[in-house]
Structure 1
Amino acid sequence: LNCPIFLSISMFEATVEQSDLWKRILEPIKEVVNEANFECSPGGIQLQAMDASHVSLVSLLLRPDGFRHFNCSRNFNIGINFTNMVKVLKCANKEDSVTMRFEEGHDSVTFLVESEGQEKVSEFSMRLMDIEGESLSIPEQSYSAMLSMPSSEFTKLCRDMATFGDSVTISVTKDFVKFSTKGDFGQGSTTVKPSLAADIKEIKTEVVKTEPGMTQDDKSMVVDKDKEESAADKAAIALVCHEDVTLNFALKNLVTFTKGSPLSERVTLRLAMNEPVQVEYKIDGFGYMRFYLAPKVDETNDS
């Protein structure tokens, strides 16, 4: 007779230690898509959404272990307007913890913002979006080449290329990766070479799976843990190439992807001929944010 009523309520609740994490996650997402479903389950939070032009896609995985508190009684799709969520989170200081809460049957999600010493607590609610459409499924893909480099360097490289042209050609061999572009007033190129080949453990199976809680992707390129904190390691460029790859991509999209740089000190690019490039930023303790961009068609080969 005295059973607590909340046990019968289906709900989702997740707390991050610092609001800044959500801000760093949302900033790049909202540049690709303004509205999408957070797919919440006991296995964590996932998002897979395509941009309006259907050439780029963003994929997010946040595993339960990264949260200070995580509870999800069953699977929920929570429709989020990311511009509005960014506005809500601007009410939180960088060090404030944020609890995101949703109860089945409600048309809004609640954000509980607590200061570090819990001397100030604020509560905000945001209306949910009714987002139709089936969940996207990213097929398994074997990649011919992978490049890992400091995310700050990749950001600068993309912006430098965008100074000259609208697209960039990425050519990968076992010895180097060349980024090149040309425009109306000039052209430019940057070649990067691996600097830590001896400390990279190559995994033969380069298949990236998409199921919740997956770990195969974490094994594709591993830096020696004993050297993980060294300045040289953080600045290292690592390259694994099974087959030469040359592809052309829109720089506007790649520059947008670099907004994920605050999530990780390193970025990993995975490429295969005639397939979308995967640009991955690991989110320490949580999972990853991945972007996919379809290569541009070589119009000279069209008939």
Structure 2
Amino acid sequence: MFVSSGNSTSCQFPLPGIDQMKTTEAALSLGFGFSNCRTSLLWKRNSLHHTVSINAFNVKCSFKQSRQPLTSPKAIEKKTIKKVGRKEHHLWQKRDSAGSGQKALNLVRIVSGLPNEKETVYGALDKWTAWETEFPLIAAVKALRILRKRSQWVRVIQVAKWMLSKGQGATMGTYDTLLLAFDMDQRVDEAESLWNMILHTHTRSISKRLFSRMISLYDHHDKQNKIIEVFADMEELGVKPDEDTVRRVARAFKELGQEENKTLVLRRYQCKWKYIHFKGERVKVRTNAWDEDDNLSN
């Protein structure tokens, strides 16, 4: 650049480094583009010119860091949050069945060696559960199954009644086993009392199996009127009888002299076709009841 002073004109060249120093100083003061840099500027002024020395070791700029996108604090927090496993919640607590088989065998052994007295049996059963933190329901049910297989019907009745008196085992399976034991031990009156209690307490939840058990009990003891009453309850509650129950009900109507009702029951509930094995093959044939109905209609 040219500088004129008076009459003389002199040519002065710009000092290298001064303009660069000013540009760098302005950029650093405004904070453009050097977010991760540490700089140290040492300024030395002499009488003739200004020199700038930059400490290169204090400038730490990373090319990778300058290219990383800016992230919000929320995004960083999301990365650090650890997912916690979902905790399962059950409304019921699974009972421990470990050792229940041995407990059941122990109960069967205790009961089998007792005299047929209610106080003695109930006292032994109470002693069997004296040191249990909760009622050993699984072991008691297994004991009932063992006694049922051994056909010890008196013991089945005693154990089942004791369970019900404790408020345990009030299920359709226990009721079915108890009704079977009453049937085999010729206790029809007790079976009828139990059935009335079940009918009034569990009206809408009585299973088809339990209805069939009660009809079978009345059929074994020739109580046709009771069979018809139980069958009427089945129809009222909308429970469809099985084939064995249909035959028992039809036979009861026949013995009572109600042939029309017998025909209606067979027409409504008995299957029109059945399968038999003939010469090693499975053959579909018509039932005899429907053959009789066809002959009557013709």
TM bucket normalised to smaller: under 0.3
Query: What TM-score do the two structures reach when normalised by structure 2?
Result: 0.18
- Name the structure with the higher helix share: 2
After TM superposition, the score normalised by the length of structure 1 is 0.18
Task: State which structure, 1 or 2, has the greater radius of gyration over its C-alpha atoms.
Answer: 2
The structure whose residues are more often strand, as a share, is 1
Higher relative contact order (CA 8 A, sep 6+): 1
